[in-house]
């Protein structure tokens, strides 16, 4: 990896953290409203569930981006946290916060896929 690439990744990560910090701050106002209309209330409840789910995901992304910046400072940026192979520069260009090489990420995504399916079930029941 060239110093130029490193600089670019670091700039992208810093921008990403700033963006996510702004988004997650705005979500502080997930409110609990009581509605007279039962249908509205059901709708509001499922929107809250969705908002909490999105917030959770954004906080995870924020944590990953911050961890990647820490790896810049402490060393280990661009190294898979699972198998310690180099993460492909093209992958880093698309996702500089990536923790894993594509092979380990795909393995993790398969587990996450099941988790997300479970969350959708939950939303389906709330709606």
> Is 82 a residue that touches Zn ion (CB under 5 A)?
yes
Token pair, residue 97, equals 């916060």
Contacts 24+ apart (CB under 8 A), 12-16: 12/96, 13/65, 13/68, 13/69, 13/72, 13/96, 13/97, 14/69, 16/61, 16/65, 16/96, 16/97
Q: Which of 52, 83, 93, 127 binds Zn ion (CB under 5 A)?
A: 83
Instruction: Give the per-residue contact string, 28-67, with Zn ion (x = CB under 5 A; - = no).
Output: ----------------------------------------
Among residues 12 and 80, whose Cβ is nearest to Zn ion?
80
Among residues 76 and 120, whose Cβ is nearest to Zn ion?
76
Among residues 75 and 124, whose Cβ is nearest to Zn ion?
75
């Amino acid at each position: 990896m060239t110093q130029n690439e490193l600089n670019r990744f670091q700039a992208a990560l810093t921008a990403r953290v700033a963006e996510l910090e702004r988004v997650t701050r705005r979500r502080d106002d997930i409110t609990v409203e009581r509605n007279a209309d039962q249908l509205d209330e059901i709708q509001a409840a499922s929107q809250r569930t969705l908002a909490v789910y999105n917030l959770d995901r954004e906080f995870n992304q924020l944590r990953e981006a911050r961890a990647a910046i820490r790896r810049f400072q402490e060393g280990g940026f661009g190294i898979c946290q699972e198998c310690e192979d180099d993460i492909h520069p093209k992958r880093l260009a698309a996702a500089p916060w990536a923790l894993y090489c594509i092979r380990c990420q795909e393995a993790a995504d398969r587990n996450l896929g099941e988790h997300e399916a479970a969350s959708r079930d939950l939303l389906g029941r709330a709606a």
